[in-house]
Chains A and B, each alone.
Chain A
């Protein structure tokens, strides 16, 4: 370190705001994603594979919701979007566990950036990743599966992003206390898969037992999926879905609660922080 000290000592930088650190963290999530090629490939192929196999295999056993004449692929399309959004958003928060294990998180925890900006950074990163994957599938659907107006497409993108944001928050709350990715996967199977299947993404709630339909009614994801469907189907059929305004309100509430919950849990330290 032979260099002479040429620059004057810098004065104290201003206290960091919420946005700049959040954007930097979110950008980092994206950069990391695109630098892991296997992640990129599987992320792009997975939804197409699932849609094709599911759509073809289950076509015969599908019963359209009462009062509609939806084809199964039309029904499955918004559900697949919801699935992509959910998996991507929630899995993106595994990075918290990795960041902690690799030590990166500790320097974020002692930085003066507000906790909210750390949370927003992670959530926006997860949202962006989910968005990138879902938008490709959505555009494919727009052209080949479910024609809709441009307005409907834009609305769908909006709803989809909001869902991604809320689900990233859900993932954040789960991931924060976890010290291993295995634990995260266990929760995923136990809790998040039922949440996805009981959201109306793959089958409507008419014809299911009463207790199951109640679980579906209490599942916040149900309303995101419902809002998404209504954007996509236009006037075609609303009869089997909860009211659009109600669906949007609950989805927004879900997102707000997810942020608040994430900020709250991120105040706690786990043993993983003490390496």
Chain B
């Protein structure tokens, strides 16, 4: 047996025209993992998904899956992966059954085996009774379930999912995750998914955090959280900069100022809450203490909050444009 990982990505970069969307990304994923690519919009995760799904060719870098090289043997990879797109990929004028039948033909399935497989998956995603209705008449959640069935139809050992829980209600989201875990444990199916939900990333066996096309952190979610010492205290204040100075002067404690909010990473957070509250009663509007989340990991690694990334990037672009003209 060879020890090549199921998915291996080395120094992957991609440019859309002049814009560098993915910058030297490397990671591997093994059999049975649920590997998450986490990042804000524009972080590069969808670009990675597009490259791995063979939709676009990377500008540079090396990718292999199942031991096959992406550039020289894309067909072999395409046969073995299941792809679930974020945007709809169903033909709305066809029924759920017809959509899956067509998909089967594209993947080399036919006859009784294909029918059996379609019925099994429709049962599995709880749409067996709606098999012969036009997809047009389906709700968003139902369509997503057909998409999932479509990706799983040919029994792939590797599933690529782009923002799989978009458009799913919480119940359906839970079901999907349970199913992914079940596939991983019973059939050894690896899932590689993109998400911008921290809570969702926390359920992955390993995650890679992407920001502005670069890998900023990688590992199991628990380990990543553990890189942050103890607790996280966040402080709302009307004069955060001044408070930051005072905290440093009085306690020698390093408080980071992130977009108007002060963050303190420290052991024994509850004691510090009491101390800080006592020392600056007027300057603090609100103070919370929490165990570190993936959000905190992101802030620590990038120096800014997760959700504002898009606007910041856009602002930077605008400034550049203005400067250039």
Q: Mark contacts of A23-37 with chain B using CB atoms, 8 A cut-off: 1 yes-contact digit, 0 otherwise.
A: 111001001100110
In the bound complex, CA of A14 to CA of B111 (Å): 13
Q: A3-B123, A103-B88, A106-B55 are in contact. Are A15 and B75 (CB under 8 A)?
A: yes
Cβ contact within 8 Å between A24 and B105: yes
Instruction: Tell me whether B187 is interfacial, beta carbon within 8 Å.
Output: yes
Instruction: Tell me whether A11 is interfacial, beta carbon within 8 Å.
Output: yes
Instruction: Tell me whether B8 is interfacial, beta carbon within 8 Å.
Output: no
Q: Mark contacts of B7-32 with chain A using CB atoms, 8 A cut-off: 1 yes-contact digit, 0 otherwise.
A: 00000000010000000000000000
Q: A1-B124, A1-B178, A11-B155 are in contact. Are A112 and B89 (CB under 8 A)?
A: no
Cβ contact within 8 Å between A10 and B106: no
Instruction: Tell me whether A186 is interfacial, beta carbon within 8 Å.
Output: no
Q: How large is the interface on B (under 10, 10 to 19, 20 to 34, 35 or more residues)?
A: 35 or more
Instruction: Tell me whether A7 is interfacial, beta carbon within 8 Å.
Output: yes
Cβ contact within 8 Å between B155 and A15: no
Least CB distance from A39 to B in Å reads: 11
Interface residues of B in 90-140 (CB under 8 A from A): 90-94, 98, 101-103, 105-110, 113, 116-117, 120, 123-126
Interface stretch of the complex, out of B79-87, B192-200, B236-244, B279-287: B79-87
Q: Mark contacts of A257-275 with chain B using CB atoms, 8 A cut-off: 1 yes-contact digit, 0 otherwise.
A: 0000000000001000111
Cβ contact within 8 Å between A111 and B106: yes
Cβ contact within 8 Å between B93 and A107: no
Cβ contact within 8 Å between B106 and A108: yes
Least CB distance from B120 to A in Å reads: 5
Cβ contact within 8 Å between A21 and B105: yes
Cβ contact within 8 Å between A110 and B78: yes
Cβ contact within 8 Å between B124 and A3: yes
Cβ contact within 8 Å between A109 and B75: no
Cβ contact within 8 Å between B87 and A16: no
Cβ contact within 8 Å between B105 and A9: no
Instruction: Tell me whether B150 is interfacial, beta carbon within 8 Å.
Output: yes
Instruction: Tell me whether A67 is interfacial, beta carbon within 8 Å.
Output: no
Q: How large is the interface on A (under 10, 10 to 19, 20 to 34, 35 or more residues)?
A: 35 or more
Cβ contact within 8 Å between A20 and B83: no
Residue of A nearest to B89 (CB): A107
Residues on B with beta carbons closer than 8 Å to the beta carbon of A6:
120
Cβ contact within 8 Å between A104 and B91: yes
Cβ contact within 8 Å between B85 and A269: no
Cβ contact within 8 Å between B91 and A28: yes
Least CB distance from A5 to B in Å reads: 6
Residue of A nearest to B154 (CB): A13
Least CB distance from B68 to A in Å reads: 12
Cβ contact within 8 Å between B87 and A275: yes
Residue of A nearest to B90 (CB): A104
Residues on B with beta carbons closer than 8 Å to the beta carbon of A31:
93-94, 98
Cβ contact within 8 Å between A13 and B182: no
Interface residues of B in 47-100 (CB under 8 A from A): 50, 53-56, 75, 78-80, 83, 85, 87-94, 98
Least CB distance from A148 to B in Å reads: 38
Least CB distance from B12 to A in Å reads: 17
Instruction: Tell me whether A102 is interfacial, beta carbon within 8 Å.
Output: yes
Least CB distance from A94 to B in Å reads: 14
Instruction: Tell me whether B250 is interfacial, beta carbon within 8 Å.
Output: no
| Additional A-B contact list (18), CB under 8 Å, known A21-B105, A23-B105, A103-B89 | A6-B120, A9-B155, A10-B154, A11-B155, A12-B154, A12-B155, A21-B106, A24-B101, A24-B105, A28-B91, A102-B88, A102-B92, A104-B89, A107-B103, A110-B54, A113-B105, A269-B55, A273-B55
Q: Give me 5 A-to-B residue pairs in the complex whose CB atoms sit less than 8 angstroms apart, sorted by A's number.
A: A10-B113, A10-B154, A12-B80, A21-B105, A110-B54
Using a CB–CB distance below 8 Å, which chain B residues touch chain A? Answer: 16, 50, 53-56, 75, 78-80, 83, 85, 87-94, 98, 101-103, 105-110, 113, 116-117, 120, 123-126, 150, 154-155, 175-176, 178-179, 182, 186-187
